[in-house]
Structure formats: structure tokens, C-alpha cells
Structure 1
């Protein structure tokens, strides 16, 4: 997560703000950084650390012991929203690029997208145990290129259309593909658009909304107030509507438990499933389960259209066999649920609203602290948010190393749950990651300025734009 001023998970602008100017970065006066955007990115980074390293449980509103699970899904969605905000900041802020600047602006975004895609591929090579999000972000940035000159109202309408229509379209395409072995998604790009925890087809709504927000005056109190109020309203609408509707229309297939299901991971694996045991109130009899990113679990009926093969891979049934029709692949939760990474319309509205409210709150908090000259209180978190690409990549590599160490310890003790150490995922591991970032990032920013990967990507984009 898997799941990155400049856009989240991309280089932050220089301290003089020149990367927030026009596309070419030459005709606009230097502008100061928006500390609130850095703070929001820092919150997203720390939340991402928790989602990947803390083994946080599935969020259940009625159980305070699970509230740490709020980081699942929402941290990466906050990143995607900030990606749109930061694309706006680097291409003119409230003023879209004009005729003489739009080509350079598009080149800068495309080069950054290419760098992200390459870095994502490199992270895949180190076998990091998270679902790497960089390739998905790269495609999302490419989608921003043709809409860089759109006004906020038009962008918000497009985001609303995607949020309402794309999730259902994705479910129908998945069901049709599962029932027809000849129907594919269009290769790797098609998989990025429809599959995994970050489907680009659906997540385009977050980037479009962020781009619209970035075209507004983020220094204005009315904008901050609108973000908080509007975000809370969307969260209540999305999550509340999902709860109300799913109470009236329960899932037709209790074995098809989506992301966030109440299952426990015991660290082992077998031919019948990767070491999953059912939790309270969840019946997975006759199903095979797979662990996804950020603690999510997916279970499929052994004779259903999404059944897993004996080796744990997902198979494709033969059309016409019992349970192989595309209708049998559809459940109410696929359209109405709001679990993390379910990519439904309620989740898009709810988690997108959370992202907007967090951004508005961070902008308000940063402005309030600045007036009282108390910005140092949140400076470490903002420093982490100023170099999110470096923080993301370093944490992914560190997770790969700790995962190998944890499994080596498991093998040395002959397997079994007792062989797992805190390196396999715990709040201690999150504290180690977060504490290191909160110390190293401020020191690096003070001594060397921008993060190393941020500097590299910004240099490449700037050279391409000048050419």
C-alpha cells in the first residue's frame, strides 16, 4: 500500500516556493510554502506507516480497541487527494497555466509521473510486503494532464461524476471478466485501472477533487472552513448511507468477505489458504482466503466465480459451470459497502470527505500556530510531509528488510505463531518508523534542504520543461 508544495509522494517545492509558481517556474514571483499542505502530507505519511507496519485491526466504530484501523485506506486516499492539490500548486495555484505555459506544465507533470512509475517498479524488485502505490499515482498524474486548465467548478463536477459512476462500472467489469476467460482488462495498465487496492478508474475522483481544491485560495479562511464542513458532510453521507442501506440489504453471500473482514492472520500458510482463521461472527466455511495489503483479507467461495486455485492464486471458472455466471459474482457489499479499499461509491464519498476535512483542519491549524509563532509544535510532522517520496521509498525498503528478518526468526523457531516478532508488524515497529522520520526529516531539511528523491525528480522535471 499499499499506499506520495509538490504532489503527495512527489518532490515538495523549494523553500522559496518557486516550484509553486507557473509551469515553467520562471514568470511567477516566488511564493511561500503552504505549511498546512506539508502538515497534511506528514499526517498521511505517519498514517501510511501505521497502515503498513502497525498491524492495526479493522475499524469497528463500536469497539474503541479497533480505532487504530482508521488509517487503513484513508491514509492513501489522503495522499491521492493531496496529489491533485499539489499538481495545482505546481502549475499556477489559483491561476491555471496560460497558452504560453501549458506545454511546460504538462511536461513537468508527465516527467514526474514517469519517475514515479520507475521508482515503483524498483520497489517491487525488493519484495516489499506492501502494495506499492507509486505506479497508480503515476497513472493518476497522467490523467491530470488534459484537465490542467479546468476551473474548480468543472473539476468538482467531474470528480462527482467519477465517484458516482466509476465504482459500479468497475464492479460490473470485474464480474464480466470473472465469468468470461477471454475478456481481459487490457494488460498491466488495465489492471492498474481496475484491480488492487488503488484502482485508478475510481481513484481519479480524489485527484480531480484535489486539483479543484488546489485551484482555490488555500490561504483564505472561507476555503478552510468549506473544506472542513464539506468534508465532514461527505463523510457522514458516505459512511452513513452505507450503514443504513447495508442494514436494509444484507450481503447475499456471507463467505465473500471483502477488505476489512473480521479475520485473523496467524502468520502461517497452507495449500488451502495462507494461514487465516475466522474471527467472531464470520463464517468462511467452504472458502479460501487471501491476505491483501494493509491487513485486508479477501475470501472467495471455493466453487464460486472468483475461486482460488490450490496454490493460492485466483483462478477463472469455465463459463457455464455452476456458480460461474457473472451475476453470481455480484453482492450488495460490492456496491454499497464502505470498507477500506472497497472502492465503492460510499467509500469514495466517506474517505474522500475525511481527506478534505483533514486538509482543511491542517490548513487551519498551521495558520493558527503561525499567528502565535508556535509553528514549531508541528514542524517535525510538516518536515516529514516536505519529503514524502523519500519517506515512502525508505519505509518500503525498511519493511522489506524487517519482513525478511521476522520470517527468518520464524523459520529458526520451527514456525508457528510464537515465532513472530514485533518486526512482523506492531505498534512498536510503527513507533520506530515514525520516530526516525520525525527526527531525520527535520534534520535533513535544515542541513540539506529538499529530500534526495524529491530533488532528483524535480531536477528531471525542470530540465524537461526548460527543453
Structure 2
């Protein structure tokens, strides 16, 4: 495995891409009963978390894998990552200007890359400690700060995708990106740090791959069981239903699918929630555990046959291009008088994503946006696009 691309990592990224596409195309709740749909129950929150965790793995691999670089080499790595972050954020700003119901992740993705820069030179033990501390304490800090934000900054969230116009509200933009938006960077940095911890392992070894599956399942299941115990057996949910948000929203249903946009104030019991996009420690632990298990499974399946998951790994090797194309397509379909059937739209999108990815793999080429990002990154690292 050493010295060649780990296609299992690309396959996991492909799983994340298809999962996010599913949540964008299919309804998250049954329109007739109001009950969560299977797509909402399975993919909501977990796909985007997998996307972020795999991003952290990529950062670790870019900076030396199990042997992180130091000195001038690390400085060059940081310049390259910063340039990647800039390009990704610019693409996110362009997509944010489209008329779409999708919460575009790319601007936040770029910010997360910048926030991860201080950690990219750390070795595994120190990085693991930071990841654990950040996962546990960042939700606490967010809970303490949010009431002040809601009182002091009006509006306290953008309630839309980030565009160039958002910079005209600098305070709102800052708190939206860090605390109140769909992907609050304060807590979401936990995913990148966990991904970097995974990327510091010897991922080509079967012990690491099996360990990721086992540890991921234990973490994901343990977080859910603990949350259930705290909320239902210890009275946490009843306390939350007495808060202002609890009286406004059907929390019991939303906890299964999506808590983004719910003001989590008025009770420390919010930190016991594991629902998607709640941003609490148990939500972060559960979704990061699922991500670790998916990565482990993909690595195991591609261990002997790197192309076994080619449709996924090929698409996962060019997610920036394919995700951007998907958002544009959804902006077009959202504007149609009669939206297409979700099942057909998803499978057409999935087949096209796999087909485009395989075509670029066969041509030995990166995707268009990946080529731009790689070239700019190499220029920032070495002063030339070739890195020489």
C-alpha cells in the first residue's frame, strides 16, 4: 500500500458525495405523515461529516501521513493547503450565488482548512489529544457563547448561503461561519482533527483498517446509547421541550434528521443530544464514528483489489468538480415548474458522477477544478505548477 494512492479513501469520499446528493434530492420527511424518511435517517448529517473527516485524512496524507513533515517542508505544505482553502472557498462563494435550497459546504470547508493549519505538523499522540479535547469542549464553548451572540448581533445568522454580499455584514458572517450557521466551524474542526488522526495511522496495514471499523462502530453506537439514556431515561428531552426552542419545534422528530437552525439555549441538556447537525459532543462522536467505520470498510474492500469500488473511488477522486456540478444541476431543477422524480434524478446523477469519474481516471487526469486547485497549491508550495 505504501507509495500508491489509497483508493479506499477516495471510495469513502465517493460515499460521502452520494450521501449528500441523496439528502439534497430526496425529502428528509414523509410529506404525508411528517415522519423522517429513510434518507433522512441514514444520510442526514452523516454524509457531510464523512466528507469532513476524509478531508482531514487528506490533510494528514498531504503532510507526510504517519511521518509528519517539519521545517521548510511543513511550511511549504501549509502554503499549499492555504491556497487550496482559498480556491475551495472561492468556488463556494460562486455556488452560494445560485438559487438553490442546498446548504453549500465549500466556503466552510475552506475555512476549516485554514483552521487546521496549526495542527498539520503534529504527530499522532499530540494530535489525538487535541482531537479529543476539541470534540468535548468546542460544543461547550459554543453553548456558552451562543446566548451572547443572539443578544448582541442582529441578525445572528445569515439564513442563506454565503456570497460576496455576505461580507457587507462582517459580524454576522463571522458568527455564522464559526457558531450559528449550518456547518459551525468551531465544532466541525473536530471532524478534520479526527480525520487527521486517522491519516496519521499506517492506513495500508490491516490492523489499522480493522481497528477503524471496530472503533468507529463502538464510538457511533456508544454515543447514540448514551444520548438515548440521558434524554429519555434521565429526563433530558422533557427539559429541552420546556425551552423556547422546544416549545417552537418538534424536537423528538428533528433529532432523528436535522437540528440545524434550532437555537440551542436555555438548558445544558442540549449537550446530550446526538441528532444530526446538533453540534454536540455526542453528535460529533457518533457521526465521526460512522465516518471512521466507512473509511475502514472501504480500505478493507480495496486492500487486495484497488479498483473494486471504482465507481465510488473514481467519483471520490474529483468531488470538488462533481459536487459543484451537482449544486448547479439542483439549482436548475429547483427552478423547473415540475421538479423531476427524485428516484430518477438521484440515479441519473449517481451514474453520471461515477461515469465522469471513471472517464477521468482512464484518461489519467484530474477533474477540472482539481487541476486548478492542485496547480495553485503547487505554485504556492514551490513557486511552480510542477513542484520542481
Establish whether TM, by shorter chain, passes 0.5: yes
CA distance in 2 between partners of 1:297 and 1:210 (Å): 23
TM-score, normalization: structure 1? Answer: 0.71
Closer, same or farther: CA 333–384 of 1 in aligned 2, 3 Å: farther
Does 1:229 pair with 2:160? Answer: no
Stretch of structure 1 that moved more, 96-105 or 388-397? 96-105
Aligned to 1:255: 247
SS at match of 1:217: coil
TM-score, normalization: structure 2? Answer: 0.85
The question of whether the paired residues in 1 share the 8 Å contact of 2:333 and 2:340 is answered with no
Instruction: Note the residue ranges of structure 1 that are not aligned, 5 or more in a row.
Output: 1-16, 18-29, 264-293, 301-305, 307-327, 410-420
Does 1:161 pair with 2:153? Answer: no
Does 1:402 pair with 2:387? Answer: no
Aligned to 2:204: 219
Instruction: Note the residue ranges of structure 2 that are not aligned, 5 or more in a row.
Output: 158-170, 384-388
* Equivalent residue runs for 1:54-453 within 5 Å: 54-57=26-29, 66=38, 69-180=41-152, 186-247=171-232, 248-249=234-235, 250=237, 251-253=240-242, 254-257=246-249, 261=253, 296=258, 329-331=265-267, 334-368=270-304, 370=305, 375-405=306-336, 408-409=337-338, 421-422=339-340, 426-447=342-363, 449-453=365-369
Closer, same or farther: CA 259–94 of 1 in aligned 2, 3 Å: farther
State the 1:149 CA deviation: 1.3
State the 1:162 CA deviation: 1.2
State the 1:119 CA deviation: 0.5
Count, aligned residues: 359
- Deviations along 1:335-384, one digit per CA (max 9) or x if unpaired, are 2111111111110111111111111111111114x1xxxx5441111100
SS at match of 1:94: coil
CA distance in 2 between partners of 1:204 and 1:446 (Å): 34
- Deviations along 1:388-425, one digit per CA (max 9) or x if unpaired, are 101110000011000011xx34xxxxxxxxxxx435xx
SS at match of 2:369: helix
Which structure has the larger Rg?
1
More helix by share: 2
SS at match of 1:222: helix
Stretch of structure 1 that moved more, 117-126 or 329-338? 329-338
Closer, same or farther: CA 356–179 of 1 in aligned 2, 3 Å: same
State the 1:334 CA deviation: 2.4
Aligned-pair Cα RMSD in Å: 2.7
Aligned counterpart in structure 1 of residue 10 of structure 2, from 24, 38, 57: 38
- Deviations along 1:321-346, one digit per CA (max 9) or x if unpaired, are xxxxxxx9424552211111111111
